[in-house]
Amino acid sequence: MGKEYTVVHGLEEFAAAREQFSYLVNRLQSEEMGRMEHGEVEASIAQEGNELLRRLLQGHLDLRAGTEERRPEVEGADGVARRYCRCRQRELMSLFGVVEVRRLGYGARRERSLFPLDVELNLPPDKYSHGLRCRVAEEVAKNSFDESVASVVKSTGGKVPKRQAEEVAAEVAQDFETFYETREATEPEDTPDPLVMSLDGKGIVMRKEALREATRMAAENEQHKLKTRLSRGEKSNRKRMALAATIYTIERRTRTAEDIMIRRRDKPAETKTLPRAGNKRVWASVERAPNDVIDEVFQVALRRDPVQTAKR
């Protein structure tokens, strides 16, 4: 290894990352890479570069493990002191691939072991890192579970099976309401700008057991002509209404007749900077009744304009 890659004393944990970086640089200088098209070079860098990132993360975790100080005892929330200490390890599936986390575990007879470094690193209870869980949640919001799993494998070094992806999506969504409640403005807005409220409904096809009671009973009493598929006119009582809502403040903008009318082709339109929505909140629910979502929209509006005269 050249002098430029000499390991600094105390950073031996990153030797594998330095080795991977040196390998990547040498490969880019090789004759083989010199005959490749840019797309092939790009793909090679992405693959080997992802391994470099994985080794960097592994090196950091090894550094944290090496500097963890042994404690005489660790007391949990149950008040039990845990004095038996030994080194444990666990796998963590990250955005870059699988890494190993070594940490000290403190236990006592018939008590669950505690790991202070797990708390310090804020490790999840399962093996999937927060970054990977975030990527899965983003993909699930746009695609099916099968497509999301394939996209994560293609774009990252991590892998989350379909069943685990479903569990991650459910866990991420469970604190949706609480998340927005902690960020909702409690003070009236100090601006006369108009307050906009908007709602829209969307019917979503559901499994029969997930339909609302009246719709489910109507679906169970239906008689169909065919057993394998629905005929024309037999697609009712299969959906549940989801309601999407938004509320925001926006700067008042008065449009003229010329803004609305179609301009002449030989006269280019003037570029205008349109006002942007502020303090915008968007949410939707298929579980709650539409009236509950509508009531919540007006409650938020009243908090922003309690006197109901400051805003239009």
| pLDDT tens-digit map of 152-204 | 999 999 999 999 999 998 888 777 777 777 766 667 777 788 899 999 998 88
Total-model pTM: 0.68
Mean pLDDT within 72-82: 92
**d(C-alpha 215, C-alpha 208), whole Å:** 9
Identify the residue whose tokens are 């944290």: 64
Q: Which two tokens stand for residue 282?
A: 């968007």
- The model's confidence at residue 2, banded by pLDDT at 50, 70 and 90, is very low
CA dist 85 to 76, 78, 109, 234, Å? 14, 18, 12, 66
Asked if residue 2 lies in contact with residue 21, where contact means CB atoms within 8 angstroms, the answer is: no
- The model's confidence at residue 269, banded by pLDDT at 50, 70 and 90, is low
Mean pLDDT within 60-85: 93
**What is the structure's pLDDT at 268?**
62
**What is the structure's pLDDT at 91?**
96
**What is the structure's pLDDT at 75?**
92
Mean pLDDT of the chain: 85
**What is the structure's pLDDT at 185?**
63
Task: Please say if the pLDDT value at position 101 is more than 90.
Answer: yes
For 178, residues 6+ apart whose C-beta sits below 8 A from its C-beta are: none
**d(C-alpha 105, C-alpha 74), whole Å:** 9
Q: Which two tokens stand for residue 307?
A: 């006197």
**What is the structure's pLDDT at 3?**
47
Task: Please say if the pLDDT value at position 72 is more than 60.
Answer: yes
Asked if residue 38 lies in contact with residue 74, where contact means CB atoms within 8 angstroms, the answer is: no
**d(C-alpha 50, C-alpha 114), whole Å:** 32
Parallel, antiparallel, or unpaired for β 97-107 and 278-285? unpaired
**d(C-alpha 166, C-alpha 164), whole Å:** 5
- The model's confidence at residue 1, banded by pLDDT at 50, 70 and 90, is very low
3-class DSSP state of 2: coil
**What is the structure's pLDDT at 132?**
95
Task: Please say if the pLDDT value at position 274 is more than 90.
Answer: no
Q: Residue ranges of the alpha helices (H) in 110-195?
A: 116-121, 130-142, 145-155, 162-173, 176-181
**d(C-alpha 312, C-alpha 303), whole Å:** 14
- Where is average pLDDT lowest: 25-29, 40-44, 199-203, 275-279? 275-279
Measured torsion, CA atoms of residues 26, 32, 37, 40, in degrees rounded to the nearest 10: -70
Residue type, 169: A
Residue 204, φ and ψ in degrees, nearest 5: -120, 130
Identify the residue whose tokens are 């303090």: 279
Which of 82, 72, 174 minimizes the C-alpha distance to 133? Answer: 174
**What is the structure's pLDDT at 176?**
72
Q: How many residues does the chain have?
A: 312
